[in-house]
DNA sequence: AACGTTTTCTGACTCAGATCAAGGTTTTAT
DNA sequence: ATAAAACCTTGATCTGAGTCAGAAAACGTT
């Protein structure tokens, strides 16, 4: 696999790419000294863009690197014993994927681009070495993994306890929060995954996802135009999911 | 909270407790030099046993330590906005809990003993310092967290895609594997959690869990006497779950 | 041993969401 | 531009598991 840098590699001797990258505040939300950022920058490879449907890594393949999404979206998935795909996550810009490969030295899932996507590849052995020299970097890695664990546990609650409406609403709010965090609109965005992929991820049939979305539209919680979504009843939606202050538990929708 | 050591603390100057602990091979499946084990041993506090129903840490409480289970079992759970408990995991001897508190500096779940339980408390700041000095320890922590991430993702698949029979079978096989790994019988063990707790964890009603267990008994896959379970049709059960071979390929040692 | 409490089991009934079917729309490839 | 493929929507029907109700068993306490 050949690596094509999206920008001349040598520029990082002057200004590191990480430093000028608009995502660094999310990717590195720690106060790394300039020289440390440069050291991190040195080990990162910018890969050439993946086209929609291309695979970043494959379940069972040996684990070498974690990846930070720069633009686009990916999904991770398993192939179950019965041959169907089971989606385990979607990854938006600034998010890290591949961490589940550390144990076992093999990726336990495959990762595929949902649209044209660029990623930074971070060879894990280098990252581990570097984390030994930069304690705050090590702490940051712990944090990212810890966060992933508690997020996944939230997801388990969602899958186990919530009904179709709550699942879809949680999904939309989760995306909304992720977009907001990276500076995009929290109320108006484009779903890069199909209804089928949403259903697969949420443990729902396509038809159910479609029906729920239609219902939300009729209730004027969202406006939909194909893959474009606008959340117009944010508070109402939060109430549905149960995020809201515990006081208004009694109120109806 | 006062700490009562289960054995005189000073013995660790001669033989570290970790070294003599029967779980060390699981808790520390890395070749730590003796002096490194001793250093780890120094920072670990053995707490007095928790009685059934006692809380180890509480959701929202500030995060200081991770815990290794020595004997007994714990559950972790959230209280949802509607006030019900949602169990997110069960922890058996040699397993580590509390890791999800690193991000956020607060435990995102509560942990409660299901029976009389002893744990080792490992103050995280000390562990982090020590991991800076012992690279293989740092790697081990990464591995444990990574493992947790991929296990949780398996659980997500289970919750999202499987029916009641498959869920209960997966649950029993999962326990079986965990008991086997620590040297106990893989086919005969005691469930320390109630049917209600199993159902809560698997996203099923108590009645459904009970019915499935009864059905498994009739099909001669298991024999049940209250909380005692014997798996008599292991192969059949693995077939039911389907993935067994996949999981083993990736996970087993 | 006797009591209340909690847990487990079983049956009858209901319903949310799956499945089946079919038509409409958007995307992709040529 | 156009055909093929993939995706989305809607309606009708079916079913697995939830809910309700009550009996039986297990457990803890005095």
Q: Name, of A73-87, B5-19, B160-174, the range with top average pLDDT.
A: B160-174
Mean pLDDT of B45-61: 89
> Does position B82 have pLDDT exceeding 80, yes or no?
no
Strand order of the sheet with strand A74-79? A55-57, A110-113, A74-79, A85-91
- pLDDT, average across residues B94-121: 93
Record: contact A242-B81, CB cut-off 8 A: yes
Average pLDDT, chain B: 83
Mean pLDDT value of segment A57-84: 91
What value does the mean pLDDT take over residues B59-67? Answer: 94
- The pLDDT confidence band at residue A33, using thresholds 50, 70 and 90, is low
**Does B23 score more than 60 pLDDT?**
no
How many Å does it take to go from CA A81 to C1' D11? 33
Res B15: pLDDT: 52
Q: Is the pLDDT of residue A238 over 50?
A: yes
pLDDT given for residue B80 in this prediction: 81
CB spacing of A244 vs B81 below 8 angstroms: yes
Closest chain B residue to the Cα of A129, Cα to Cα: B135
Confidence at residue B31, expressed as pLDDT on a 0 to 100 scale: 63
Give residue numbers, 12 to 71 of A, with CB < 7 Å from strand C: 52
pTM: 0.86
Domain boundaries, chain A: 17-148, 160-251
Mean predicted confidence (pLDDT) in B75-101:
90
- The answer, yes or no, to whether residue B218 has pLDDT greater than 80, is yes
Q: What is the pLDDT of residue B28?
A: 61
**Chain A residues touching B128 at Cβ < 8 A:** 135, 138-139, 142
Read off the tokens for B11: 């013995």
**A160-251 CATH fold:** Arc Repressor Mutant, subunit A (1.10.10)
Helices A135-161 and A124-133: crossing angle, nearest 10°? Answer: 120
b/e per residue A213-224 (b: at least 16 CB within 10 A)? beebeeeebbee
What pLDDT does residue B94 have?
Answer: 85
**Does the pLDDT of residue A244 top 60, yes or no?**
no
Picking from B75, B77, B153 by the largest number of A CB atoms within 10 A of its own CB, the best residue to mutate is B153
- Spatial separation of the C-alpha atoms in residues B66 and B111, rounded to whole Å: 11
Interface test with chain B among A57, A146, A170, A237, by most B beta carbons within 10 Å: A146
Asked whether the predicted pLDDT for residue B87 surpasses 70, the reply is yes
- Identify the weakest region by mean pLDDT among A111-125, A168-182, A220-234, B236-250: B236-250
CATH superfamily of B17-148: Jelly Rolls (2.60.120.10)
Model confidence at B2, pLDDT cuts 50, 70, 90, reads very low
Residue of B nearest to A99 (CA): B146
Nearest-CA distance A202 → chain B (Å): 6
Averaged confidence pLDDT in chain A: 83
pLDDT of residue A82: 76
Residue A142 predicted with pLDDT over 60: yes
CA A165 to chain centre: 22
Asked if the Cβ of residue B144 lies within 7 A of any atom of strand D, the reply is no
Partner-chain contact B145 A142, CB within 8 Å: yes
Distance (Å, rounded) from C-alpha B223 to C-alpha B189? 11
pLDDT on residue A9: 37
A208 vs B contacts (CB less than 8 Å): none
pLDDT value, residue B13 = 40
Q: Given pLDDT bands bounded at 50, 70 and 90, which one contains residue A22?
A: low
Check if B253 contacts A (Cβ < 8 Å).
no
Choose between A108 and A37: higher pLDDT: A108
Question: Between these two residues, A39 and A238, which has the higher pLDDT value?
Answer: A238
Tokens for B215, please give them: 């059905």
Q: Which of residues 202-231 of B touch strand C (CB under 7 A)?
A: 206-207, 209-211, 213-214, 224, 226-227
For the beta carbon of residue A106, count every other beta carbon within 10 angstroms.
18
* Segment A154-183 mean pLDDT: 92
The partner residues of B229 in beta bridges, in order of sequence, read: B189, B224
Over residues A179-227, the pLDDT tens digits come to 998 888 999 999 999 999 999 999 999 999 999 999 999 999 999 998 9
**Of residues A60, A102, A146, nearest to B143 (C-beta):** A102
Contact (CB, 8 A) for B231 and B220: no
- C-alpha distances (whole Å) from A249 to each of A172, A240, A253, B82, B239 are 21, 10, 10, 7, 44
Minimum-distance CB partner of B128 among A128, A139, A159: A139
Residue B26: is its pLDDT beyond 60? no
Gap from B136 CA to C9 C1', Å: 51
Calculate how close chain B gets to A151, using CA atoms only, in Å: 9
């Amino acid at each position: 696999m050949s690596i094509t840098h999206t920008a001349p590699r040598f520029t990082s001797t002057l200004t590191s790419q990480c430093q000028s990258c608009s995502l660094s505040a999310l990717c590195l939300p720690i106060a790394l000294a300039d020289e440390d950022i440069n050291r991190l920058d040195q080990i990162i490879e910018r890969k050439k863009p993946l086209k929609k449907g291309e695979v970043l890594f494959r379940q069972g393949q040996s684990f070498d690197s974690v990846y930070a999404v720069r633009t686009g979206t990916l999904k991770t998935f398993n192939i179950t014993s019965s041959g169907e795909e089971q989606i385990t996550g979607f990854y938006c810009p600034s998010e890290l994927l591949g961490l589940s490969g550390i144990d076992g030295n093999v990726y336990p899932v495959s990762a595929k681009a949902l649209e044209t996507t660029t990623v930074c590849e971070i060879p894990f052995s280098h990252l581990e070495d570097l984390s030994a020299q930069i304690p705050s970097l090590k702490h940051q890695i712990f944090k990212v993994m810890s966060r992933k664990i508690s997020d996944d546990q939230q997801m388990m609650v969602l899958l186990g306890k919530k009904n179709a409406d709550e699942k879809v609403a949680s999904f939309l709010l989760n995306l909304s929060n992720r977009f907001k965090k990276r500076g995009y609109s929290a109320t108006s965005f484009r779903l890069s995954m199909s209804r089928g992929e949403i259903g697969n991820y949420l443990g729902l049939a396509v038809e159910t996802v479609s029906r729920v979305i239609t219902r939300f539209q009729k209730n004027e919680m969202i406006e939909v135009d194909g893959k474009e979504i606008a959340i117009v009843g944010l508070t109402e939606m939060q109430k549905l999911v149960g995020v809201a202050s515990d006081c208004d538990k009694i109120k109806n929708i």
